[in-house]
Each structure stands twice: as C-alpha cells, then as structure tokens.
C-alpha cells in the first residue's frame, strides 16, 4: 500500500517508537514510517496487548480517528485506529496508526474501549458502516444510520449509491 521512499530521514521520536515495536517481535509489522506518521499492522489476537503498550509505554493517550475499509479483493476488512498523544514529550505531532485486518466472513475483533474510552463513538460508527463487531463494546447500537436501514453496511464496496452508475 505505501509509497514511502525507501529510507526516509526519521526524527528521534519516530525512531524510538520503531525500536519499541522491533522489540515486540512478530506481534507487529511496520507498514510505513515517515516523519509524523507511523502505521503498524497487528492481528486481532494481539490488538489489545499491543494497544496497551501503545498507551502505557509509548504514551499515546487518546484516539483521534477509526477508519474501517473494505478490501473485497482480499476478502478482508481493515480497521485502523489513529492515536495521538498530549502527554508524551515531543509526540504531539505524531499520529500512530494501528491497523488490524479481519476476514470479511468473520468480522470480529476485540473492542479497545477499556483502554481508550475515546474510541466509544468511533467504534460504534465503524461497526454500523462496515459491519464489523467490536467484542466487549457495551453498546453497538445505531449511531448515524437511520433506524429503518435494512440494506448492507454502506461503506462496504458492495453497496452502490442509488442513481450512480459509475464504479466507485
């Protein structure tokens, strides 16, 4: 996915975050690392454990965004958490993305609401928009969609906007 140059010059904070993930071994895989932006992949089995490290060791204290993306070619959904930091020194400019891919046929992953209360509405929105289930979330009821919505989750690529013939 990434088009980052092979070896970008990274500031020290980014380097130390990468060193930390290197220590975690195979539990994480760095997708890209450029100044101010780092993205790592984790499996759903390791999601909670890794986000706990992200909060406690790396000092990323809040979630800024959650993106749910459908990749029908891979038959997978990707849920990307973006974390920001207020308390960590020199980290405010950095957004750390933690992505987790789940099979479209079994879209279950653990909720991280116990670690990050700020993901509450983000997870609810992602769940209804791409149809994944955050296990352990106390309330995954409808948030933005109409109550009488009976179609498939609208952010899936299989959902076509009515009246639009072009490929989305």
Binding site for other proteins (CB under 8 A): 1-4, 36-37, 39, 61-67, 69-70, 80, 82, 84, 86-87, 92-93, 95, 97, 116-118, 120-121, 125, 139, 141-148, 154-155, 159, 161, 164, 166, 168
Using the minimum distance from each CB to other proteins, give the nearer residue, 4 or 23: 4
d(CA 125, CA 144): 7
Question: Nearer to other proteins by C-beta: 106 or 121?
Answer: 121
How far apart, in whole angstroms, are the C-alpha atoms of residue 64 and residue 3? Answer: 23
- Taking the least distance from each CB to other proteins, the nearer of 29 and 93 is 93
Taking the CA atoms of residue 5, residue 7, residue 8 and residue 9 in that order, the dihedral angle to the nearest 10 degrees is -160
How near is the Cβ of 57 to other proteins at its closest, in Å?
17
Q: Which residue has the tokens 């020194």?
A: 89
Provide the minimum distance between the beta carbon of 39 and other proteins in the complex, in angstroms, as a whole number.
8
Residue 26 or 166: the one with the smaller Cβ distance to other proteins is: 166
Q: What is the 3-state secondary structure (H, E, C) of 104-148?
A: CCCCEEECCCCCCHHHHHHHHHHHHHHCCEEECCCCCCCCCCCCC
Phi/psi at 75 (nearest 5 deg)? 50, 45
User: Smallest distance from the beta carbon of 27 to other proteins, in angstroms?
Assistant: 22
Q: How far is the CB of 11 from other proteins (least distance, A)?
A: 12
């Amino acid at each position: 996915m990434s088009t980052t140059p092979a070896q970008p010059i990274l500031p020290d904070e980014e380097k130390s975050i990468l060193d930390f993930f290197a220590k975690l071994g195979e539990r994480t895989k760095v997708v890209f690392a450029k100044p101010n932006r780092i993205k790592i992949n984790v499996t759903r089995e390791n999601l909670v454990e890794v986000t706990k490290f992200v909060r406690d060791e790396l000092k990323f204290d809040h979630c800024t965004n959650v993106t749910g993306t459908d990749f029908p070619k891979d038959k997978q959904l990707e849920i990307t958490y973006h974390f920001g930091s207020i308390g960590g020194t020199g980290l405010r400019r950095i957004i750390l993305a933690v992505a987790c891919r789940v099979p479209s046929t079994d879209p279950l992953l653990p909720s991280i609401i116990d670690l990050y209360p700020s993901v509450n509405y983000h997870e609810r929105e992602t769940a209804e928009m791409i149809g994944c289930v955050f296990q352990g979330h106390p309330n995954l009821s409808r948030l933005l969609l109409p109550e009488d919505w009976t179609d498939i989750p609208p952010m899936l690529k299989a959902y076509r906007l009515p009246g639009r013939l072009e490929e989305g």
